[in-house]
Amino acid sequence: MPPKKHIIIFSHGFGVRKDDRGLLSEIAENFANTETMLFDYNGVDETGKVLTVRLLSEQAKMLNEVIEKARLENPDATIDIIGHSQGCLVVGLVKPSGIRKTVFLAPSLDNDIEYTINIFKERPGTEINLSGVSRLTRRDGTTTLVSTEFWKEREEANPISLYNTLAQQTGLIIINAKQDEILKEINTGDLNKNIKIIKLDSNHQFSGTERRPLIEKIKEILL
């Protein structure tokens, strides 16, 4: 009997494209005998320079549709999920069933939107408007548009509670970056004891020489 088909669905982070600035696409390239599914949560203008962040509820609906389509077309497949940063929160909101393993990379662990906003606040060109649309300048030269409705949903979401619920339905592994320059350090003591936590020397994007150890760790978990 041939082995079951293996599918990995990716959930990218805040204000980026489906490749997650090369992180998720590079991980996908290392799973040659696996069907990998990357998709965009957000809208992008024709120049590719301005990205509009969709509401978390809309992103969750999109992810759920991708999962259901994969399951419908491949009823016997083994399905895993890899999420990065805010993409982990979207997975938590969906709480999908029938997923073998879920790997979270540098996941958001709190709902402190002020902390997030302050990261962008001092960058030239950034305009914060919590009663309208904020324009966030990104390091790669792009602009991210964020509505007040997004910030409200983000503030209402409780990542740890969502992840604890998710851990009752899937094998949940969190890989944190020890030198994360984006997320503040959060006490993980309130996380479900069934959640395995791994720490790697890296920044938030697992870039440079630190990406290969990350990829090897993910392969060890999922293959």
pLDDT digits over 137-183, tens only?
998 899 999 999 999 999 999 999 999 999 999 999 999 999 999 99
What are 64-100's pLDDT values in tens digits? 999 999 999 999 999 999 999 999 999 999 999 999 9
pTM above 0.85, yes or no: yes
Distance CA 41, CA 28 (A): 17
Distance CA 148, CA 133 (A): 6
Closest CA to 108 of 56, 41, 185, 165: 185
Contact criterion met (CB below 8 Å) for 214 and 202? yes
> pLDDT grade, residue 1 (50/70/90)?
low
> pLDDT grade, residue 3 (50/70/90)?
confident
Q: SS3 breakdown of the chain: % helix, strand, coil, rounded to 5? A: 35, 20, 45
For the 6-43+55-111+158-222 domain, the top CATH level (class) is alpha beta
| Residue ranges per structural domain of the chain | 6-43+55-111+158-222
